[in-house]
Amino acid sequence: MRGRMGDGPASEGRGDEGWREMGWRAAAVAAVLCTSVVGTSVVGTSAFASEASSASPSSSYGFAPDVRPIVGATQPAEARTLRFGGSYRSSLPRAATRYYRLELDADSNAYVSATAVPRTDDKLSLSDGLKVSVRTADGHSCSTQTARFGSSGSPQPITASGARTTSPRTPLCTDGGTYYVVVERVGTAASPAGDWDLELTAVTEPGLRQTGEAIAPRSWDSATPTPLTGEAHPLTGGSGFARAAFLGQGVWRTELSPGQTLFYRVPVDWGQQLSAKAELDPTSGDARGYTADALDLTLYNPVRATVEDADRGYDGTRRAAALAPVPPVDYRNRYTGIPRVKGMRFAGSYFLTVHLSAAVADDFGDGPFGLTLRVRIKGAAQDGPGYAGQSVPGNLFQVGPRERAAGGELGTGSGDNAMKALAVSGIGAGTVLLAVLGVWTLTARRRAAVQMRARAQNPTA
C-alpha cells in the first residue's frame, strides 16, 4: 500500500531518521488540530462572556458556560423558541409574565425548567416565588408548578419546572406542534422591585420501543437509611446546575457561608436508591439565637424538577437536614401522584443543593460554617426501559462510565474549578504545542538546506 511504513516509494531512502521526522510532523499537526478545537471552545466562551457574565453582579449563581441570551415575550405571539438541549439566560421583572415557544412532536416527552436568581439584597416574603406552566397554542394547561423562597425569605436560586408528557398522556396535550412556556413571578405588591435573572433549559425524552404496564411499583424499601460513617473527604460545591461538583457515595466536607448555595451532581442509575443528609457544624463562638429554616437540602432530578427537600432551624448546635426516603429509580414511578416518587423516574445525574439562610449571620456571624454531606447510593445498576430514540441533549438519562465509577474519584473538585482547569490547561497546552511546532519547522528547514547543499556538491548521489 502506498505510504505504509517500510513499503513502497513513500518510504524510499528515508531510514529511521526520516521516519522520526514524519512522526514529529504527524504529532505536531495532530496536536495543533487538537489545540484548535480547545482554543475555539475557550475563545468562544470568552467572547460570550463579554455579553453576559457567568454570574450576575448581584448574585453568585454560576450560569452554564454556553448560555445564550433570550428575551421573554409579553404575549405568546411574540415568543421566541427554546431549542432543546440548550441553556438560556433571561430576566423576570416584578409581577411579570414572560412567554417562550416550544416546537414539539407527538411522541417525545418534553421538560422545561426555570431557575430564578434574586438579588442578594432582596427582601423576600413567604409569598414570593416563581411559577412555570406549559400550555398548548389554544391555552390549555399541560402542567404548572410554583416554587417559593420559604419562611426564611433568604435570597437563593429557586427552580420550577414544567412538562408536556405523552407517557403518561395528558389530556389535550398529545399532539405535535407549538406549545408555550409561561414563566411568572408571583408575590405581593411589596415584592422586590429589581429584575430576577433566569436560567432556562428544555430537554426531551424519547418514547419506549415497547410499552409496559402503566402502573407504579407497588412496594419499595421506604425505611430511613442508616447514614454513612467514615472519613470525610473535602469537596467544594459548584455555583449552579451546570457547574455542580460531581460526587458519589461517601462522606464529604466543605464550608458554607450565610446566603450561599452549593450545587452537587450525583449519578443514580436505574434500580438505584439515593439518600442524603446535610449536617451543619456547631458555631465556634458564644452567640445565642435561633434561625428558622436555616439549612435547606433539596434534591432535583435530571430535568431539574424538584423531587424532595428538607430544612432545619439552627441554634448554634450541630443540626442536620435529611431527605425523606425516595424509591429506586424506575421508569414506572411516573405513574404515581406522589411527587417524591414521581420524580425518581429517570436514570442520570441528580442534583443536591444546600443553602444556608442569610439570616444565620445575624445571630452567629458571617462564618463560614463547616458542612458534612452523607450520600448513600443503594442497589446495583439495572437495565433501562428501552428507549426508542435518543434524548436531547444526548445521554441525559444514562449514567456514563465515569459516573458509573461513583465514589471517591468523583469528588475531586467543584464544577467551577474543573472548568477553570480545562480552560487553563487548554491554553497552556496550546502554547507548548505551538512552541514544539516552531522547533520542528526550524529543524526541518535546516535539514532541507543541508540536503540541497549536499546534492549540489554531488549531483549523481
Average pLDDT for 126-142: 96
Closest-CA residue to 325 (of 301, 303, 341) = 341
Average pLDDT for 302-309: 97
Separation of first and last alpha carbons in the chain = 27
Average pLDDT over the chain, rounded to whole?
Answer: 81
What CATH code is assigned to 34-205?
2.60.120.380
Model pLDDT, residue 430: 42
- Residues facing 183 on adjacent strands: 98, 132
Query: What is the crossing angle of helices 415-457 and 15-49, to 10°?
Result: 140
For the chain, what percentages of helix, strand and coil (3-state, to nearest 5) are there?
A: 25, 30, 45
Closest-CA residue to 76 (of 179, 161, 168) = 179
Of 410 and 29, more confident = 410
Model pLDDT, residue 119: 94
Model pLDDT, residue 58: 55
CATH assignment of 210-413, among 1.10.540.10, 3.40.50.720, 3.40.190.10, 2.60.120.380: 2.60.120.380
Per-residue pLDDT of 198-221, as tens digits, reads 999 999 999 999 988 889 998 898
Average pLDDT for 28-45: 35
CA distance 264 to 259: 17
| DSSP secondary structure letter of residue 228 | P
Average pLDDT for 412-432: 41
Average pLDDT for 428-439: 39
C-alpha distances in Å from residue 355, one per residue of 16, 149, 153, 369: 63, 11, 12, 12
Average pLDDT for 260-273: 97
Domain locations in the chain?
34-205, 210-413, 425-461
Q: CB 93: neighbour CB atoms within 10 A?
A: 13
Of 424 and 64, more confident = 64
Burial of 230 (0-12, 13-18, 19+ CB in 10 A): exposed
Average pLDDT for 449-456: 45
- Residues facing 197 on adjacent strands: 91, 117
pLDDT > 90 fraction of the chain, expressed in percent and rounded: 65
Model pLDDT, residue 404: 64
Given pLDDT bands bounded at 50, 70 and 90, which one contains residue 114? very high
Model pLDDT, residue 271: 97
Model pLDDT, residue 226: 84
Model pLDDT, residue 45: 33
**Look-up of cell digits 458564644:** 286
Q: Is there a common fold for 34-205 and 210-413? A: yes
Model pLDDT, residue 405: 62
179 pLDDT exceeds 90?
yes
Per-residue pLDDT of 115-127, as tens digits, reads 999 999 999 998 9
**Look-up of cell digits 389535550:** 172
Q: What is the DSSP string of 59-89?
A: ------TT-EE-PPBSSGGGPEEPPTT-EEE
- Is the CB of residue 175 less than 8 Å from the CB of residue 106? yes
Of 22 and 398, more confident = 398
